[in-house]
Chain A
């Protein structure tokens, strides 16, 4: 009797093939239905691929804003944050395979490099310009290819001079010098006191290029003419820039700059090994946590003026929409919403100078009033140019930048090569690049 009961119970527990198939099919159907309902009965989802900001708070704000957008508009937005250096690879993969995110964050010349894969976003950029006091010139240079807006300029990572105000005062400079000649004079005094300056001359794709293109332009040198095709580096102006950088290196800088990557100057500044460097406000921000005693004696300044004027080169980021996206209309609406002062101010507000807007409206953003040491950053977009200047930021200009043609021209001079030889070598490298279709 007992045996029979147990057998009955076991029979109830036995999983037959039919039962297994039935349960599996039911579970699959339930899961699919759940996913379908969760996605708002087939509502759109926008996938955004972007860089992981040095300041996590900025990414957190974007995540919150995405949730807010879903609540307000019923459209789900998913941000994927990846390392800045992985963006080119991911972008290339998406462009080549015709699949991937709907919105992509494009680095400086990205809209020009990938223009064929991007849709026209003029209907987002033009109204934004009208409503928010117009776009800066650099925004148009970055995002307009031919006559078409291929991306919406999201902002720049403003690169400025970061310096030790106490050491500069010690050698007689209450304010940071306004010209390169004065900076050289101050740098000599600083180095004599054991506080060398440092501008990356190694393979620092950001800091190396961003420090030395402005110096080339400030002395009147260019890698090409305004047509964006004719190489124009071998000029007396370039030679003057090379002579200046060599003198700056020998008389004011630490030799270590020849090996610096993008993070080296941050470390050196925080370790009180250098007095002046070219960087975003990330050093100032990092001091909050790692070296609070340095916050009071760290300040920012614009790049100095040279004989040809004041220039800067800051990495720009833009938002483009891929042709293959199935939610182009929704993606445009989201970008437009994201650029609206309510969202944009909140985002750059937590950034504390790590990001500056390219719409003139944001020059008066409250973030610049938060801290007097950040106020100077608001002016940077006015002076920013892109590699290829005075021509457009073309594929050739991008290639010369990733091959460090300009930085290496200066680095060779600092290592002892004659001005004529190093400029000639840069010219030959540029001709090789610009001869391509």
Chain B
């Protein structure tokens, strides 16, 4: 009878013992097991990133090697009025969309956490904007904001909320409002679903105890929901901030950065400068400009999370 045949006693067999010999240096095995992931990270993330940093420090144009010019690209950008406008637009775009998504996301999550009719169906439907490919959904929005055939204007005029059609994509203010609306619509499901997952982990007993103590709904939300949801909020806001700063599709399809550069953001400007005008050194500098600031935000957020 082969010793390995006994179920539950694999460690007794020769095959298992040779496996154990292999597994024994646990640290080595650990490194070995994560090596594919590390390799992928190095090849797909670290290498392009380091290359982008290097290119941003050169005066490279497409097809030419370029020479090292230090941080001159970054300094020159600071004197470029168009870049300063782009930086401002990016800040407005990111802060307003993240704030809107957070407020609406929490509200939606709280709502979806209640006993509402067809709860699962509604929860599934909420995810739709997140599932549909961005380029397709933004093309639909483009039609909805069209200067001639805007259904949004049609409805607003129809219900009497406005007396003159809104130049959604033709006016600097309204164009920014339009891209913020679409980004919020697109990102809201991620916020709502993440917050909903967080809400579902909060023990019901806490609310029951609060109710017994006479706490009203708002106080329950303020003293129980919000504090316990904080780690989720931090992670979601962190991710969304990074994604929104790097957003390209929504603005590119909807306004191309216009009108009069009113919605030009880092990614669209970097695309125009690097790929269309061929200045990839400067284009890389534009896309990496906020990296140090983002890095600080990421470190602070992660430290906060670890403490939590």
Contacts and interface: CB of A to CB of B under 8 A. Distances in A.
B99 to A, nearest CB: 26
B279 interface: yes
A318 to B, nearest CB: 16
B260 A267 contact: no
A399 B261 CA distance: 14
B167 A256 contact: yes
Given A114-B62, A259-B259, A402 B272 contact: yes
A259 B277 contact: no
B261 A258 contact: no
A232 to B, nearest CB: 20
Contact of A395 (B61, B167, B261): B61
Interface stretch (A178-186, A294-302, A366-374, A407-415): A407-415
A258 B259 contact: yes
A203 B255 CA distance: 7
A408 B260 contact: yes
A437 interface: yes
Q: Is the interface of B mostly helix, strand, loop or mixed?
A: loop
Contact of A202 (B80, B258, B279, B282): B258
A404 B82 CA distance: 11
**Residue of A257, A403, A429 most packed against chain B (CB within 10 A):** A403
Interface string B57-68: 001011110000
A412 B144 CA distance: 25
Interface string B155-191: 0000000000001111100010000000000000000
A271 B148 contact: yes
Interface in B24-53: none
A96 B63 contact: yes
Nearest to A257: B170
A399 B259 contact: no
A203 B252 CA distance: 10
Nearest to B172: A415
Interface string B260-295: 110000000000111111111010000000000000
A117 interface: yes
B256 interface: yes
A271 B257 CA distance: 26
- Contact-residue size bin, chain A (C-beta under 8 Å from the other chain): 35 or more
Given A203-B257, A203-B258, A395 B170 contact: no
A412 B172 CA distance: 11
A92 to B, nearest CB: 5
A202 B169 contact: yes
A429 B82 contact: yes
Given A96-B63, A114-B278, A429-B82, A412 B260 contact: yes
Contacts of B282: 436
A437 B69 CA distance: 12
B136 to A, nearest CB: 14
A202 B171 CA distance: 10
B113 interface: no
Contacts of B259: 201-203, 258-259, 411
Contact of B279 (A205, A271, A436): A436
A116 B278 CA distance: 12
A259 B149 CA distance: 13
Interface in A148-193: none
Given A113-B278, A256-B170, A258-B171, A408 B261 contact: yes
A67 B54 CA distance: 45
Contact of B148 (A96, A201, A267, A398): A267
Nearest to A422: B260
A388 to B, nearest CB: 12
Given A113-B278, A256-B170, A395-B278, A428 B81 contact: yes
B279 A395 contact: yes
B260 A411 contact: yes
Contacts of A402: 272-273, 276-277
B168 A116 contact: no
B134 interface: no
B256 A92 contact: no
B82 to A, nearest CB: 6
A437 B169 contact: no
Nearest to B167: A259
A399 B273 contact: yes
A261 B272 CA distance: 16
A42 B174 CA distance: 59
B79 interface: yes
Contacts of A436: 279, 282
Interface of B: 59, 61-64, 79-82, 146-149, 167-171, 175, 255-261, 272-280, 282
Interface of A: 88-89, 92, 95-96, 113-114, 116-117, 201-203, 205, 255-261, 264, 267-268, 271, 273, 395, 398-399, 402-404, 408, 411-412, 415, 425, 428-429, 432, 436-437
Given A117-B62, A395-B279, A398-B278, 5 more contacts: A116-B63, A256-B147, A259-B258, A264-B147, A402-B273
Closest 7 CB pairs of A and B: A259-B170, A203-B256, A203-B258, A256-B147, A258-B170, A399-B277, A259-B169
8 contacts: A88-B276, A117-B62, A267-B148, A268-B147, A268-B148, A408-B260, A412-B260, A415-B260
